[in-house]
Amino acid sequence: MKVLIDNYDSFTYNLYQQIGAFDPEIIVVKNDEITLDDLKAMHPSHLILSPGPGRPEDSGISLAAARYFANRIPMLGVCMGLEVICEALGGQLKLAKTLMHGKSGQVTLDTTDPLFRNCPTEAMVARYHSLVCDGDSLPGIFNVPAYSADGDIMALTIPSMQIYGMQFHPESVMTEPGIGDQMIQNFLQASIASGATN
């Protein structure tokens, strides 16, 4: 079963529906209504960290969950979910060069990364954030397979640990049609290849 932690974002159920279209074995839990022990007892096959307002320290159980489940099960972070993964695994955040709240922007994608297979090398995506991961702070385990037009980090991955995250919103209608679905499928297929099960 896949567990989606809801960081109190209006996009959480869009993400739930997008993932559920490919695999219905998914449930949503709110970040302040569950403990890490509760989460462990659920034996999730995958962990998905939703977008949300504020900073990772405002995300309830999400930081602790990301630290615990890293390298245990496949993990996907979206928007603040990516920021949670970044901080949980040793990186830091900084202000984005351009504040993007409800705007579409072009990103450049490294299509050799498992998260972006069968995607174009450039795409228009939905962005709702003012923070980004600070590349100078990142531990060497991270890949950076996506950048904005002005050079901000738009994705982090650790394929060997089945950890993936994107700063933009694959579930938004402002993301180019079909591309967000492809990224979600890539995450699910990569985790199947690694042996993850429901």
What is the reported pLDDT for 66? Answer: 98
What is the reported pLDDT for 80? Answer: 95
pLDDT per residue, tens digit, the chain (198 aa), is 999 999 999 999 999 999 999 999 999 999 999 999 999 999 999 999 999 998 999 999 999 999 999 999 999 999 999 999 999 999 999 998 877 777 789 999 999 999 999 999 999 999 988 899 999 999 999 999 999 999 999 999 999 999 999 999 999 999 999 999 999 999 998 776 555 544
Of 121, 82, 80, 128, nearest to 105 by C-alpha is 128
Structural domain range at position 78:
2-193
What is the reported pLDDT for 36? Answer: 97
Query: 9 near 51, Cβ under 8 Å?
Result: yes
Distances (CA, A) of 82 to 43, 177, 178: 22, 22, 21
pTM: 0.94
* Residue 134 belongs to some domain of the structure: yes
Query: 34 near 179, Cβ under 8 Å?
Result: no
Catalytic residues, by residue number, are 79, 169, 171
* Residue 27 belongs to some domain of the structure: yes
The three-state DSSP-derived secondary structure of 123-184 is EEEEEEEEEEECHHHCCCCCEEEEEECCCCEEEEEEHHHCEEEECCECCCCCCCCCHHHHHH
Question: Which tokens go with 4?
Answer: 């989606």
**Dihedral pair phi/psi, residue 100, rounded to 5°:** -125, 100
Tell me, what CATH number does 130's domain have?
3.40.50.880
**DSSP assignment string, 16-68:** HHHHHTT---EEEEETTS--HHHHHHT--SEEEE---SS-GGGSTTHHHHHHH
* Residue 83 belongs to some domain of the structure: yes
* Residue 43 belongs to some domain of the structure: yes
* Residue 198 belongs to some domain of the structure: no
Q: How many domains does the chain have?
A: 1
